[in-house]
Amino acid sequence: MLHLQCNTGADSILLAQKGAIVTAVDLVPDNIHYARKLAKELDIDEIEFIVSDVLELMNIHKEKYDIIITFDGVIGWLPDLNKWGKIISNYLKDDGYFYLHDAHPFIMVFDEGGLPKGNLTVKYPYFDKDADLDTHIGGYASEAKQADNYYWGHSISTIINGLISGNLYITYFNEYDRCVKGMGGSILDKDGLAFYPDFEQKLPLVLSIKAKKMTKNIL
């Protein structure tokens, strides 16, 4: 499988421990350095880690995959989801599938400070967004440093149209009112998933999409 935006590789390693042969990609060299170190310490050989921008990966890597996955804090870092959809399609085998799990665009419009207190204030536009610019960024493997970084709050239609532009079709689309810790939510349920008590079963925090490659033209 191909794991896009793998960060420091913990999930790539878990997947390899479950038997997958994994190629994992991240933009940040420090992340991949740490991921390789962790895999070596755990004696995992079935992973190839690559430093690359997902949107430039086709310049340096040629392979086809049964499964492509990317999850939890990923698409907002990508400026062009049409290019993303085409890249996913390029790397998928004809009978393979793509899986995305990420923040739900709807919840991203609200003031994050208000959600834990039960307040809904629309702070960010849903449509036609320019990227938000931040001037500091850190990671699990590197100190926060001064560097301009851009986050695009893509809408649902931008995500779906990105996949369509890669000639992919959706085999399921799900929405959830709880998420992994760190992606929103103010308290944890008994399974360790985070949610906002005032909005349980009322607002979606994350979505998941599974898509496959269209092998003949049905449109």
Contacts to ligand SAM by CB under 6 A: 5, 7, 10-11, 25-28, 31, 53-55, 71-74, 77-78
Q: How far is the CB of 206 from ligand SAM (least distance, A)?
A: 12
Q: How far is the CB of 6 from ligand SAM (least distance, A)?
A: 7
- In the bound state with ligand SAM, the residue whose beta carbon lies nearer, of 46 and 53, is 53
- In the bound state with ligand SAM, the residue whose beta carbon lies nearer, of 75 and 203, is 75
Using CA atoms, how far apart are residues 101 and 173, in angstroms rounded to an integer? 10
Of 186, 219, 191, the closest CA to residue 205 belongs to 186
Q: Pairing between strand 65-71 and 145-151?
A: unpaired
- In the bound state with ligand SAM, the residue whose beta carbon lies nearer, of 69 and 211, is 69
Q: How far is the CB of 140 from ligand SAM (least distance, A)?
A: 7
Using CA atoms, how far apart are residues 175 and 211, in angstroms rounded to an integer? 15
Using CA atoms, how far apart are residues 213 and 218, in angstroms rounded to an integer? 12
Q: How far is the CB of 30 from ligand SAM (least distance, A)?
A: 9
- In the bound state with ligand SAM, the residue whose beta carbon lies nearer, of 149 and 157, is 149
Q: How far is CA 189 from CA 127, 178, 179, 194, in A?
A: 32, 9, 10, 6
